[in-house]
Amino acid sequence: MKDNLLRKRKPGSKLRPFKTKKAEEVAYQVLPIFLTFGAPAILQSDNGRECSNQVISELCAMWKDVKIVHGKPRHSQTQGSVERANQDIQNMLTATDER
pLDDT in tens, 4-22: 444 444 456 677 777 887 7
Q: Which helix (H) or strand (E) holds 2?
A: none
CA distance readout (Å), 55 to 19, 32, 62, 72:
17, 15, 11, 21
CA atoms within 13 Å, Cβ hemisphere of 98:
6
Residue 22 makes CB contacts below 8 A (sequence gap 6+) with 50
Q: Which of the four pLDDT bands, split at 50, 70 and 90, describes residue 74? A: low
Instruction: Name the strands in the sheet holding 42-45, side by side, starting at the edge strand that comes first in the sequence.
Output: 6-7, 42-45, 67-70
Cα gap 51→48, rounded to integer Å: 6
What does the pLDDT read at residue 98? 66
- Inter-axis angle of helices 23-37 and 54-62, nearest 10: 20
Total residue count of the chain as it appears in this document: 99
- Residue, of 23 and 49, whose pLDDT is higher: 23
Query: Structure pTM?
Result: 0.57
pLDDT in tens, 26-54: 778 888 888 888 888 887 776 666 556 67
Mean pLDDT of 55-76: 74
Q: Which of the four pLDDT bands, split at 50, 70 and 90, describes residue 70? A: confident
Q: Which of the four pLDDT bands, split at 50, 70 and 90, describes residue 82? A: low
Single-letter residue type at 42: I
